[in-house]
Chain A
Amino acid sequence: MSAAGGSVSPPPPGLSIADLDDPAAVARHENVLMRRALADMRTADLRNHIRSHVRRMSTLVTTTLHAAGIDVATMMLGMRAGDAWSTQALVGAWARQGMMCRMTPVHGRHHLHGAMRRRGSFEIPAVDRPTETMVAEVVGNRIEFMMNGPDFILTTARGRARLTFDGSLPAVLAAIARGERLDRVVDHPLLHGAGLVVDGFESTSATTSIEFVAAELPVAIPEFGKGGTRVEAEG
């Protein structure tokens, strides 16, 4: 097996020679093998899509990857397709934000919401902000960034970013906020000193959204190799 493509799937645990006489153990074993094969085939499909279509990537992905000490090739290899990959791969733009709703902390950590996990995505470890989940996600021909915090959601779509948080702000503020520097409106380490400017502001009775330009860069697509689709680093 090639070094880049990862190794062959390890044998599933818990099937000994004695178990071959137990139909239930055999059935469970077959089930594990089947699900594994399905996951591998989905991932192969996702890589196929990345190789032939993905051309651009949000710079927020690059920045956060860099902060976590991961390079782009590793991220591409770590991309996994969930069971909604094919049907929702191209749900674009802001529709994704609507799919994510409240996340509740489980065991002190915010869990990846289903809509984030079930499509082609890679979770970027948040180095010093354990309450936030960051995901690089394949959407159409781009790799977009998505971040879920305890009280906000940040998504990018086609070169723009939208930050949505709880609470309503008066319309007077909206007029002031538009054109204001982003780091003077929201305080988050990711958005510091990037020279970003708020150019959209929307407030409903429950939530407030801020929009700004989030740059995109062309992305180099790595050779995925011809080996199995499983990657050693997978948890």
Chain B
Amino acid sequence: VSKLKADAARAARAAREGVMLAAARRACEEARVLNRMVENMRLTSFRTYLAATVNSMSSIVPDVLSVGRSDVGAALQRIRPGHLWPENTRPRSALRGSMSSYYNQALDTPLIGDAVILDGLKDWIEAVIYGGSLEVLLRGPAYTLSTRTGTARMKLEAIPHTAVGSCVGRAIEEVVDHALLRGRGFVVEKAARVGTSTVVSFEVGTRPLEMPWAWG
């Protein structure tokens, strides 16, 4: 009799656990549906925002994207909102912005969204929306090329201090030989030693840009 009782108790426990397991599964499934729904709504809101605010890109953006076998349209389709968007679009007070020019720029052109275009062993390419323009980041084995509203910035291995100053005013090809920058008439505007690397920046200009999707 006691064995029968134990069997019955075990069966009852198993049934209860089965019910709770089903409840857990249903709850997880519901969460998945909710998350997918919210993600879609957020993407729709994001693309409407991009169509209304993004209108330019640095001129070398298409060339960098083509290195990653992509183009502007495909990159824009892949861009997803950054985790701080849309809260970081809130206008900042003048006080906070005046702390430094670097900080100022970071606040005026917040990171809206980004996408990884290429994550190969050698090169890494990112498409990023800063403020109202599309920018790229290309990280190679020994250099990093990034753009910000018409200005490109290239981080290289250190060159001697004495040579840093003489870079300014020269064509970029004389300082660094890179297929993307050859023969386009870019002239180094600033050069500086930053830590263990040298940073040169040069003007590349901007181009108008329109979102590939219609107004939402």
Task: State the A residues within 8 Å of B (CB).
Answer: 23-24, 26-28, 30-31, 34, 38, 41-42, 45, 49, 52-53, 85-87, 89-90, 140-141
With A26-B49, A34-B41: A90-B20 Cβ-Cβ less than 8 Å:
yes
Indicate if the CB atoms of A89 and B24 lie closer than 8 Å: yes
Indicate if the CB atoms of A45 and B30 lie closer than 8 Å: yes
Indicate if the CB atoms of B53 and A24 lie closer than 8 Å: yes
With A28-B87, A30-B45: A45-B27 Cβ-Cβ less than 8 Å:
yes
Q: Please encode chain B, from 183 to 200, with 1 for each CB lying within 8 Å of some chain A CB and 0 for all others.
A: 000000000000000000
With A27-B86, A31-B86: A85-B31 Cβ-Cβ less than 8 Å:
yes
Query: By DSSP majority rule, is chain B's interface helix, strand, loop, or mixed?
Result: helix
For the complex of A and B, 4 pairs with smallest distance between CB atoms: A86-B31, A24-B89, A23-B52, A27-B86
Question: Which B residues are CB-close (under 8 A) to A24?
Answer: 49, 53, 86, 89-90
**A23 contact from B21, B41, B53, Cβ within 8 A:** B53
Indicate if the CB atoms of B48 and A27 lie closer than 8 Å: yes
Indicate if the CB atoms of A86 and B28 lie closer than 8 Å: yes
**B20 contact from A30, A34, A53, A85, Cβ within 8 A:** A53
Question: Which A residues are CB-close (under 8 A) to B85?
Answer: 27
Task: State the B residues within 8 Å of A (CB).
Answer: 16, 19-21, 23-24, 27-28, 30-31, 34, 38, 41-42, 45-46, 48-49, 52-53, 85-87, 89-90
Residue of A nearest to B33 (CB): A41
Indicate if the CB atoms of B19 and A34 lie closer than 8 Å: no
Indicate if the CB atoms of B34 and A41 lie closer than 8 Å: yes
Question: Which B residues are CB-close (under 8 A) to A85?
Answer: 27, 31
Indicate if the CB atoms of A38 and B23 lie closer than 8 Å: no
Q: Enumerate 16 A-B pairs (CB-CB under 8 Å) in ascending A order.
A: A23-B49, A24-B86, A27-B48, A27-B49, A30-B41, A31-B87, A34-B38, A34-B41, A38-B34, A41-B34, A49-B27, A53-B20, A86-B28, A90-B21, A90-B23, A141-B16
**A86 contact from B27, B42, B49, Cβ within 8 A:** B27
Indicate if the CB atoms of B45 and A42 lie closer than 8 Å: no
Indicate if the CB atoms of A53 and B24 lie closer than 8 Å: no
Instruction: Give the CA-CA distance A55 to B212 in the complex, in Å.
Output: 54
Instruction: Give the CA-CA distance A87 to B38 in the complex, in Å.
Output: 17
Residue of A nearest to B86 (CB): A27
Instruction: Give the CA-CA distance A23 to B20 in the complex, in Å.
Output: 46
Indicate if the CB atoms of B46 and A27 lie closer than 8 Å: yes
User: 7 new A-B pairs (CB below 8 Å) besides A24-B53, A38-B38?
Assistant: A24-B49, A27-B85, A53-B20, A87-B28, A89-B24, A89-B27, A141-B20
Instruction: Give the CA-CA distance A26 to B46 in the complex, in Å.
Output: 10
Residue of A nearest to B42 (CB): A34
Instruction: Give the CA-CA distance A223 to B49 in the complex, in Å.
Output: 42
**A34 contact from B28, B30, B45, B49, Cβ within 8 A:** B45
Indicate if the CB atoms of A87 and B41 lie closer than 8 Å: no
**B34 contact from A31, A42, A49, A53, Cβ within 8 A:** A42
Instruction: Give the CA-CA distance A87 to B90 in the complex, in Å.
Output: 33
Instruction: Give the CA-CA distance A31 to B87 in the complex, in Å.
Output: 9
Indicate if the CB atoms of A31 and B42 lie closer than 8 Å: yes
Indicate if the CB atoms of B24 and A90 lie closer than 8 Å: yes
Instruction: Give the CA-CA distance A53 to B20 in the complex, in Å.
Output: 8
With both chains docked as a complex, state the minimum distance between the C-beta of A80 and any C-beta of chain B, in angstroms: 15
